[in-house]
Amino acid sequence: MINIIENKFLRVAVKTHGAELCSLKSLKTNKEYIWQADEKYWNKHAPILFPIIGFLKDDEYEYNNKIYNLNKHGFARDSGFKLINKKKEKLVYLLEYNEDTLKKYPFKFQLYVNYILENSKLKIVYEVVNKDNKEIYFSIGGHPAFNCDMENKRQYIQFEKDESLNTYLLNLETGLLEHDKKTILKNKNILPLEYDLFNQDTLVFENINSDSLYIMDRDEEENLKITIKKFPYMTLWSPKAPFICIEPWYGIPDFIDSKNKIEDKIGINKLEVEKIFKCNYDVEII
């Protein structure tokens, strides 16, 4: 099922399955900004990554002396959410723990996903609630894909501030992170977009200076602003296809030398009993 919200600037569509954003259109130009899941390249739009991001070493982790298995990016993107609130400019979805999730993720949780329109901005808000009687551990992130044809050489990313971007290198055989880094940008705020950027697959940056970045097209009247303030990791990815993913993450894939204990996982988030974790990123047409 697909639910739609709109105002005089934007029209947004979200699937109940995975609570996945599947359309973001400008009502001024009728331009679609979200990748439309062409299976030739990638059959997703903007999956939600929870309770892990990327690969675990050997697809497993240890908690309380027991081994659990989780596939890449976790189970939220493949789960049925409940639509619990719908207004003209707001959608709220909920995913809760159940017998199946507890078999692979032994923590009781609620995950709320909010889509909120504010003029020409779409705000995406994640809320994780600890419903357990112990601390819970998780990663969470967005994976939105934006239409972007890099072959035409017109498009680039502009950062709010000058950046020195050093990406972790991805081991292409395992999908795990190496500790070595590669410099992508040095004291500049413009990153030209070209497919060769992604020869090593995903670019994973830690603690960038900018709160916002822009996907710019020299020939377009409208462009996109993505605000990822406070997210510790930001990722860029394209499988040499006419889109780019700009991914705000609270967490990262395992490193190649991971010891598999979830409590010790680099980038993991710990949430106390009855506490709520909240984060958001925004997509705005400018």
Range of the domain at 97: 2-285
Neighbours of 194 (CB within 10 A): 14
In sequence order, the 6+-apart residues with CB closer than 8 A to the CB of 164 are: 183, 185, 186, 187
Question: Pairing between strand 121-130 and 155-170?
Answer: unpaired
What domain count does the chain have? 1
How far apart, in whole angstroms, are the C-alpha atoms of residue 231 and residue 143? 13
Residue 41 CB coordination number (10 Å) = 15
In degrees, rounded to 5, the angle at the alpha carbon of residue 126 between the alpha carbons of residues 116 and 50 is 135
| Per-residue pLDDT in tens (0 to 9) along the chain, 286 residues | 999 999 999 999 999 999 999 999 999 999 999 999 999 999 999 999 999 999 999 999 999 999 999 999 999 999 999 999 999 999 999 999 999 999 999 999 999 999 999 999 999 999 999 999 999 999 999 999 999 989 888 899 999 999 999 999 999 999 999 999 999 999 999 999 999 999 989 999 999 999 999 999 988 889 999 999 999 999 999 998 999 999 999 999 999 999 999 999 999 999 999 999 999 999 999 9
What distance lies between CA 174 and its chain's CA centroid? 20
For the whole model, what pTM was predicted?
0.97
CATH number at residue 144: 2.70.98.10
How big is the chain by its Cα radius of gyration, in Å? 18
